[in-house]
Chains A and B, each alone.
Chain A
Amino acid sequence: MASVASTVRALPALFRIGFAQAVAYRAEFLVWVLSTTMPLIMLALWSAVARDAPVGRFGQREFVAYFLATFVVRQLTSSWVSWQMNYEIRHGVLAMRLLRPVHPMIAYAAENLAAQPLRLVVAVPVALIALSSVGAAMLPRDPLLWLVWGVALLGGWLITYLASFAIGSLAFFLESSIKAMDVWLTLFFVFSGYMIPVELFPPTVRSIASWLPFRYQIGFPVELLTSAHGRAQALTLLLAQWAWVAALGAAALLLWRRGVRTFEAYGG
């Protein structure tokens, strides 16, 4: 672990490269961002539902706040590392990456995070629209909850990234692990609060969702933003989230170490 210092020194360069890449393909990047229509489509359905009568604590306003916050959080916690790894492993490009004195887990993370400023270009206006149409009343007042939200957003990104990295590492063993990623995404869509606020599920499904990692990717930060939790509950959920971060981090490292030994750089 003598390389910690050199890794830290390399980080600014990695961020610059990642940002430059995102800017170079900005049109393509924008199309990707615009493809996040699901929260808005779900918003249409749920506000049609709330037009007749509110669902739980959700009226039309609450749904607007919830799903616009979902859009923003989804932008800020996304990662495409498993597709990238699948490509690089199959084409042998990964060999170049292995030659560099930075652990690929760090390098990929830096590249993925470096695109965030561009995502903010879309996320900030959506956040402002949400704020102007719903008002600030729904945001938490407690500064501690804002702190928890910041940590939860980081945790949400880490869960997305580490799970994606672990599944990407499966490409060492299978020909392609994109299908495995699709399965993960399907479960994510249902259980994360991305399509349906977790609290609107029937009780049994709700308790299953609290044990799975998906809710901590999107639902938890969004719930914090829309003041669904008090201090005690927020901290308990934060603990659960970081337990998942630790577990997925360990799984990702293990799969990577096992997998990279079998890497043969075919065709590279």
Chain B
Amino acid sequence: MRAPLRYARLFRVQLKASTLTLLQYRFDFFTEGLLEVLWAATALVPLFVVFRDRSQVAGWTLGEALLVVGWFTLLQGVLEGAINPALTSVVEHIRKGTLDFVLLKPADAQFLVSTARFAPWRATNVITALAIFAYSFHLLGRRPSADGIFLAALLLASSTLLLYSLWILTVSAAFYVVRVDNLTFLFGAIFDAARWPSSVFRGLLSVVFTFVIPLALMTTYPALALLGKLSAGAAGAALAGSLLFAGAARAVWLAAIGRYTSAGG
């Protein structure tokens, strides 16, 4: 039973190290936070323009659509605060061959590379998201039910797991094709589609965003859960799906790291 405790301590050390590194660039640290708020605001502008002369779009009212944007902001914080920085660092390790040093350490390599770098200023995204949630429930004129909040929290865990698994798959690709750092931008660009309720998309795109790159599961489902419109069955399926996805990603990672040939490989 010592292992989980040891990993929790290791996690704390890694997080502290990234925070200290970032505090060296204090100016960046604060401007980044402010900038995040500005970015989140750009996501809201189109909605306010769209809902200026009508009350419903694709079956969603402004208050409901804002909930989706809130989840989008929250998950973007997770993606760019905890997932992308580590991706950039592990890709660098693989290219330079310095991943050797990570592999030599007496801890799980996947754990070490996943927690190598954080961008703590993205915590502002959480605050922004909470503000958006508060505002949208103010517009809706009611409060979320306790069940809804519980279900949404579960779905938050499953979306984080999904994002993380997609990340592990991308990193695994780095063992084969080396240059994947700008894939983070591509993924970020695709993830932008998650800012709208999934019913906005029609035809092929809606299938892709539910099953292939499950963006609908990440933002629309939790929003529906908060509204009390998501069935327990759908939530269960989303959870099971993300666990399955994570298992597959772990298997791919183990296979990929077996192919690592150190510097020049």
By a beta-carbon cutoff of 8 Å, the part of chain A in contact with chain B is: 27-28, 31-32, 34-38, 41-42, 44-46, 48-49, 51-53, 55, 174-176, 179, 182-183, 186, 189-190, 195-196, 200-202
Interface of B is mostly: helix
Inter-chain residue pair count (beta carbon < 8 A): 82
Shortest beta-carbon distance, B45 to chain A, in Å? 5
Give every chain B residue within 8 A of A189 (Cβ-Cβ). 42
Which residue on chain A has the smallest CB distance to residue B209?
A: A44
- B179-210 vs A, Cβ < 8 Å mask (1 yes, 0 no): 10011011011101101100111100100000
Tell me, yes or no, whether B2 is within 8 Å of chain A by CB: no
- Are the C-beta atoms of B185 and A35 separated by less than 8 Å? yes
- Are the C-beta atoms of A35 and B200 separated by less than 8 Å? no
A69 to B27, CA, bound (A): 38
Contact of A190 among B45, B50, B193, B205 (CB under 8 A): B45
Contact of B46 among A27, A195, A202 (CB under 8 A): A195
Shortest beta-carbon distance, A204 to chain B, in Å? 13
Tell me, yes or no, whether B103 is within 8 Å of chain A by CB: no
A133 to B220, CA, bound (A): 30
Shortest beta-carbon distance, B189 to chain A, in Å? 4
Knowing A32-B182, A176-B28, say if A55 contacts B53 (CB, 8 Å): yes
Number of interface residues of B (CB under 8 A): 36
Shortest beta-carbon distance, B41 to chain A, in Å? 8
Tell me, yes or no, whether B127 is within 8 Å of chain A by CB: no
Interface of A is mostly: helix
- Are the C-beta atoms of A37 and B189 separated by less than 8 Å? yes
- Are the C-beta atoms of B35 and A179 separated by less than 8 Å? yes
A35 to B186, CA, bound (A): 5
Shortest beta-carbon distance, A60 to chain B, in Å? 11
A258 to B32, CA, bound (A): 27
Tell me, yes or no, whether B251 is within 8 Å of chain A by CB: no
Contact of B28 among A38, A45, A55, A179 (CB under 8 A): A179
- B203-225 vs A, Cβ < 8 Å mask (1 yes, 0 no): 00100000000000000000000
A52 to B200, CA, bound (A): 12
Which residue on chain B has the smallest CB distance to residue A38?
A: B192
Q: Which of A32, A41, A189 has the most CB of B within 10 A?
A: A41
Contact of A44 among B31, B53, B193 (CB under 8 A): B193
Chain A to chain B contacts (Cβ below 8 Å), 27 pairs: A27-B179, A28-B179, A31-B185, A32-B182, A32-B185, A34-B189, A37-B189, A37-B190, A37-B193, A38-B192, A41-B192, A41-B196, A45-B46, A45-B196, A48-B57, A48-B58, A48-B199, A49-B57, A51-B58, A179-B28, A183-B35, A186-B35, A195-B42, A196-B45, A200-B49, A201-B49, A202-B52
